[in-house]
Amino acid sequence: MVHLKLKFISLASPSIFLILLLCLPSPSTSDLSSEKQALLSFANSLHHGPRLNWKPNTPICSSWIGVNCTRDQTHVLSIRLPGIGLYGEIPPNTLGKLNHLQVLSLRSNRLIGNLPVDILSLHSLHFLYLQQNAFSGDIPSSLSLGLISLDLSYNSFSGEMPLAIQNLSQLVVLNLQNNSLSGPIPDLKLPTLRRLNLSHNNLNGSIPFSLQNFSNDSFTGNIQLCGPPLPQCSAVLPSPSSPLPIFPQSSEESYKKKLSAGGIIVIVASVIALFLLVIIVLVLCFMKKKEGKESVASKANGLGSGNNERPKEEHSSGVPMAKKNKLIFFDGCSYTFNLEDLLRASAEVLGKGSYGTAYKAVLDDGCVVVVKRLKEVAAGKKEFEQQMKMIERVGNHAHILPIRAYYYSKDEKLLVYDYVSGGSLYTLLHGNHGGTGKTPLDWDSRVKILLDAAKAICHIHSKPLGKLIHGNIKPSNILLTRDHHSIIISDHGLTPLMTPSSTTSKLSLGYRAPESIMSRKCNVKSDVYSFGVVLLETLTRKSPDEVVDLPRWVHSVVREEWTSEVFDAELVRHKNVEEEMVQMLRLGLACVCRVPEERPGMEEVARVIEEIGRSSSEG
């Protein structure tokens, strides 16, 4: 389910684009209005539903669904219309006229007929996603050299794989599975190629040496294909008993003349034996295959997939139909993927938290989202849905990560969030796992981070939104945007859904208020405690992993009047903020007071931090 993430794409594509921009003579023949005409004639020649809101009198760059333009709004840069119900044949001279197009995704529609030659040869094209349609005919042999991702899988393309693929030196993804391609596989010496799938075609011959390092998963379902990673290409069947070579070495005429009658009988007998053997093997294979198919189908039926679904779709992935499309999106969310796309997306593990694993998923239309896979959820479906609604309601705040969608089934619970790219307070303070990559953090940045986080938690606690508790405040849940200008709180509101064992997981025990560890209940005051630990950690750069009870450690150091030793050495260098640092330390210690009632409220905490920040910037 989780594929290797392709760093290459995200890193390489902008630079490739730049290079292309610099190298190509800028074609000025096609301006935006002729691109609009081309798109309109594309849309008019296909059947489609009302979601395709392309109208001649509306601005193409800002209001047409699925269309994105260059920054200066002069050309169409990408078209993404996955699963939008397009039906019919794409005429040439439509999409092929968009000579700045970089991304074209028309996957999961019902497009038929030949793929126009002019699309694949568009010089600007980098990403082409046409999988899950019903295209037929040959794959055009004139291919854009800039292609990075080429996905034509699950169509009915036939003929041979074009040799021109050999020249696609930027290609990273090549998916051609489930077509009817025949003939040999070209020798693809493409150092950039990371994902290859040629399964379920009619390709034959031996697998080129350059592709032998891909797994057999990339080639299965091509009966006549052989060689590593598939079984060796020995003679199809060794002749068991024939004393004579079956196939003549010299010309057939002269060979026959030299044979005796007995020899001919032996040859005929062995040919017949061979023929029978082949038939038996084929029959056996066929029976096995049929069995396999039936079990997949019955499994899908057993899980309750609807009878009126098209059978082709029932097999399209490991996810039975009944479970598909149950990804619940919240209003105002512009994503257009479904669960299957999500499962198919390339993903990178971002982190394993106490509640589950977070993945960064790059969907094949280029969207980047974070998928959190919850383990040990104790809540039932109703309860889960209600909590999701509450979480969604607090998301409307500059410093809170909004939830975009969720998925709930008996054995899988997924949450989908926007991706925030600047790391977390944890990585800022302690670097990545190896201890490298920590950035020096000055006093003002630390105050700003704490203040934004405090404001976000205030918002979560505020009454009109209902009784929501963050429940899992720790530095790795305080995220930063790429420019470090804004911080965003994540993972809020999940605690009530989880099993007790996961909420007291060792991973975040140091941040839990003592009373909430015992009662397993969280409230606003236990959030204040957790925030207090984060505050102390931000001042001392000591994490609760390092000193088991950070509040106690801070107390002990302060009691012995080594106050300056408690602070992060990087901060102590700035002598002029010493007083503010001590004030901040006092606030932190108040937050981690053992008695919940003596802790300040979050409003109060935010107010004090703001004051401290103001006095240090004045001083």
Ligand X SMILES: *[C@@H]1O[C@H](CO)[C@@H](O)[C@H](O)[C@H]1NC(C)=O
CB of 236 to ligand X, least distance (A): 10
273 binds ligand X per the rule CB under 6 A: no
Question: Cβ contacts of residue 448 below 8 Å, gap of 6+?
Answer: 487, 613
600 binds ligand X per the rule CB under 6 A: no
Which residues are known binding-site members for ATP?
Answer: 381
Region of 151 (left: φ > 0; alpha: ψ -120 to 50; beta: rest) is beta
Q: Which segments of 303-380 does DSSP mark as H helices, in order?
A: 311-314, 339-344
- Of the candidate spans 16-24, 164-172, 482-490, 513-521, the one that interacts with ligand X by CB under 6 A turns out to be 164-172
Distance (Å, whole) CA 588 – CA 600: 10
- Of the candidate spans 42-50, 159-167, 299-307, 430-438, the one that interacts with ligand X by CB under 6 A turns out to be 159-167
Interhelix angle 578-591/550-559, rounded to 10 degrees, is: 130
Distance (Å, whole) CA 389 – CA 378: 17
Q: What is the DSSP string of 512-537?
A: S-HHHHHH----HHHHHHHHHHHHHH
Q: For residues 198-227, which are near ligand X according to CB under 6 A?
A: 199-200, 204-205, 209-210, 212-213, 215-218, 220-221, 224
- Of the candidate spans 244-252, 308-316, 353-361, 468-476, the one that interacts with ligand X by CB under 6 A turns out to be 308-316
Distance (Å, whole) CA 395 – CA 404: 9
Comparison of 1 and 518: residue with beta carbon closer to ligand X: 1
- Of the candidate spans 197-205, 498-506, 521-529, 593-601, the one that interacts with ligand X by CB under 6 A turns out to be 197-205
CB of 378 to ligand X, least distance (A): 34
Q: For residues 57-86, which are near ligand X according to CB under 6 A?
A: 68
CB of 197 to ligand X, least distance (A): 4
Comparison of 344 and 430: residue with beta carbon closer to ligand X: 344
237 binds ligand X per the rule CB under 6 A: no
DSSP 8-state secondary structure symbol assigned to residue 357: E
Exactly one of 133, 149, 155, 177 binds ligand X (CB under 6 A); that residue is 177
Q: What angle do CA 190, 95, 68 make, to 5 degrees?
A: 85
CB of 61 to ligand X, least distance (A): 8
Comparison of 76 and 468: residue with beta carbon closer to ligand X: 76
Paired sense of beta strands 346-352 and 356-362, if any = antiparallel
Dihedrals phi, psi of 64, to nearest 5 degrees: -80, 130
How much of the chain is in helix, strand and coil states, percent to nearest 5?
40, 15, 45
CB of 203 to ligand X, least distance (A): 8
315 binds ligand X per the rule CB under 6 A: yes
CB of 482 to ligand X, least distance (A): 14
Comparison of 220 and 499: residue with beta carbon closer to ligand X: 220
Cα–Cα distances in angstroms (integers) from residue 588 to residues 275, 296, 419, 599, 608, in the given order = 84, 58, 30, 10, 11
# residues near ligand X by CB under 6 A: 31
- Under a CB-based contact definition with an 8 Å cutoff, are residues 377 and 498 in contact? yes
158 binds ligand X per the rule CB under 6 A: no
Comparison of 78 and 616: residue with beta carbon closer to ligand X: 78
167 binds ligand X per the rule CB under 6 A: yes
CB of 327 to ligand X, least distance (A): 18
CB of 33 to ligand X, least distance (A): 19
Comparison of 199 and 354: residue with beta carbon closer to ligand X: 199
Q: What is the DSSP string of 198-237?
A: --SSEEEEEPPGGGTTS-GGGTTT-TEEESTTSSP---SS
CB of 500 to ligand X, least distance (A): 38
Exactly one of 116, 140, 183, 422 binds ligand X (CB under 6 A); that residue is 183
The single residue listed with the structure tokens 């998928």 is 371
Dihedrals phi, psi of 316, to nearest 5 degrees: -70, -15
316 binds ligand X per the rule CB under 6 A: yes
Distance (Å, whole) CA 537 – CA 345: 36
CB of 186 to ligand X, least distance (A): 8
CB of 138 to ligand X, least distance (A): 13
Paired sense of beta strands 412-418 and 368-374, if any = antiparallel
Look at the alpha carbons of 56, 125, 159, 141 in this order and tell me if their dihedral is positive or negative. positive
Distance (Å, whole) CA 77 – CA 124: 9
182 binds ligand X per the rule CB under 6 A: yes
264 binds ligand X per the rule CB under 6 A: no
Comparison of 306 and 434: residue with beta carbon closer to ligand X: 306
Comparison of 204 and 564: residue with beta carbon closer to ligand X: 204
User: What binding mask, one character per residue, do residues 350-379 give for ligand X by CB under 6 A, x or -?
Assistant: ----------------x-------------
Give residue 404's identity as a one-letter amino acid code: R
510 binds ligand X per the rule CB under 6 A: no
Among candidate residues 290, 317, 321, 318, the one with its CA nearest the CA of residue 303:
321
164 binds ligand X per the rule CB under 6 A: yes
Look at the alpha carbons of 163, 168, 169, 172 in this order and tell me if their dihedral is positive or negative. negative
Dihedrals phi, psi of 86, to nearest 5 degrees: -75, 135
Comparison of 173 and 454: residue with beta carbon closer to ligand X: 173
163 binds ligand X per the rule CB under 6 A: yes
48 binds ligand X per the rule CB under 6 A: no
Comparison of 314 and 527: residue with beta carbon closer to ligand X: 314
Which residues are known binding-site members?
Answer: 381
519 binds ligand X per the rule CB under 6 A: no
E strands, 296-444, in order: 328-329, 346-352, 356-362, 368-374, 403-409, 412-418
Cα–Cα distances in angstroms (integers) from residue 505 to residues 352, 356, 594, in the given order = 12, 11, 20
Q: Can you name the residues that pair with 409 across neighbouring β-strands?
A: 412
Exactly one of 42, 54, 154, 426 binds ligand X (CB under 6 A); that residue is 154
Q: Which segments of 24-116 does DSSP mark as H helices, in order?
A: 32-44, 60-63
CB of 341 to ligand X, least distance (A): 14
178 binds ligand X per the rule CB under 6 A: yes
Residues at the contact surface with ligand X, assessed by CB under 6 A: 68, 154, 163-164, 166-167, 177-178, 182-183, 197, 199-200, 204-205, 209-210, 212-213, 215-218, 220-221, 224, 230, 312, 315-316, 366
